Structure 1
Amino acid sequence: MEGVTVVDHPLVRHKLTLMRDRTRSTKGFRQLLNEIGMLLCYEVTRDLPTELIEVQTPIATMRAPVLAGKKLVFAPILRAGAGFLDAMLDLVPSARVAHIGLYRDPETLQAVEYYFKAPADVAERLVIVIDPMLATANSAIAAIDLLKQRGARDLRFVCLLAAPEGIHRLQAAHPEVRIWTAAIDEGLNEHSYIVPGLGDAGDRMYGTR
């Protein structure tokens, strides 16, 4: 799909298979989500701009690349998006963090906001929105709407699994936002869960129902 990058690295595919297993423990699921989060972060930041600076190695002086411009912002959609955050901050420890609290209304399936806080200068930074599942895309669309209202202009979306329906809806609402995912599954069931999927990522992360 245009505008969608499927990160099909063998390690990502292997870890995702382990996460799909319904017998995987809460601890194991959380650890695997953290590991895949780091690998996805590596891919979504592959084209960050760099500039050359002068450094003195133990042997000689040289010009070498460092990241250029404002530090980026990670924007996890709570609660499940927090499962990616620590791994991504390990890779980019100077990144800022926006928190977006949304829950899905069980009747309408619409995203309901309960918390939102972002850096004051979010308009000047690349914002990477993170959430393990892109199912109906209601939460993703609502999160990006909130960030745009705050002034964000350069946004990307990272998820673990995506349904074709969610991809189409997100692209219809925000066509300029590129998507990175570990896999695109078959579709949604009657309860709007991804099939075959891996269940509710938040519940499996935290041992809740």
Structure 2
Amino acid sequence: MRQKDTSTASFRRLLREISLLLAYEVTRELDIGMQRIETPLCEMDAPLLEGKKLALISILRAGNGLLDGILELIPAARVGFIGLYRDPETLQPVQYYSKVPRALDARMTIVVDPMLATGNSSAAAIDVLKQEGARNIRFLCLLAAPEGVARMREAHPDVPIVTAALDERLDDHGYIVPGLGDAGDRMFGTK
């Protein structure tokens, strides 16, 4: 994925595969209850997920690349979107859209964005979700920079971060180094 000449189709396929693997990690501690069932041979107490369906929240637009793989594992999840872009001068997030599932206070909420760079967009998205009532939140990303992890820990110490890799640092433009470039542009073929 990191190679600059990786095709858009290959990038999408790899992102989907990795997001499926990350989904296993982020859901590792789901609440499990028991229900008495009857198998073809006998009755037994079978484990099942407790509570409301999970909520997946994509930080637009790049977060959408993680959704397919996660939904493959959790097809009944509710899906929401928070539109943010990073102002190139200030590196601060600007919100332009928000549509999230109801009853976030009763759902595990998994926020997805491939890159945790400055941490400003992810922190802002989680601010929005907490205002909507979310309490049990996880953040899932493909790559993270130490600066973004520190920003998230400062803003939301209660939100665990699940990532495939922790890279070295941010450059002067707020990009992760060595990174993989702009995930949204690479996924959608816009650059």
Match of 1:87 in 2: 69
- Number of residues of Structure 1 aligned to a counterpart in Structure 2: 191
Measured against aligned partners, the alpha-carbon deviations of 1:104-140 in whole angstroms (never above 9, x if no partner) come to: 1111111111110111211211111010000001110
Cα distance in 1, alignment partners of residues 26 and 102 from structure 2 = 23
Cα distance in 2, alignment partners of residues 94 and 125 from structure 1 = 12
Cα distance in 2, alignment partners of residues 176 and 80 from structure 1 = 24
1:104 partner amino acid: R
Cα distance in 2, alignment partners of residues 45 and 157 from structure 1 = 11
Q: Secondary structure at the residue paired with 2:190? A: coil
CA RMSD of aligned residues (A): 0.9
By how many angstroms is 1:57 displaced?
2.2
Consecutive unaligned residues in structure 2, runs of 5 or more: none
Measured against aligned partners, the alpha-carbon deviations of 1:7-56 in whole angstroms (never above 9, x if no partner) come to: xxxxxxxxxxxx11111100000010000001000011011011111222
Q: How does 1:48-67 map to 2 (within 5 A)?
A: 48-67=30-49
Cα distance in 1, alignment partners of residues 109 and 143 from structure 2 = 20
TM-score (norm. length: structure 1):
0.89
Consecutive unaligned residues in structure 1, runs of 5 or more: 1-18
TM-score (norm. length: structure 2):
0.97
Cα distance in 2, alignment partners of residues 60 and 191 from structure 1 = 62
By how many angstroms is 1:59 displaced?
2.4
2:122 partner amino acid: A
Pairing 1:204–2:186 present: yes
Match of 2:93 in 1: 111
CA contact (8 A) 2:116 2:145 kept: yes
By how many angstroms is 1:97 displaced?
1.0
Match of 1:68 among 38, 42, 50: 50
Cα distance in 2, alignment partners of residues 140 and 46 from structure 1 = 22
Cα distance in 2, alignment partners of residues 127 and 120 from structure 1 = 11
- Structure 1 range deviating more: 117-126 or 180-189: 117-126
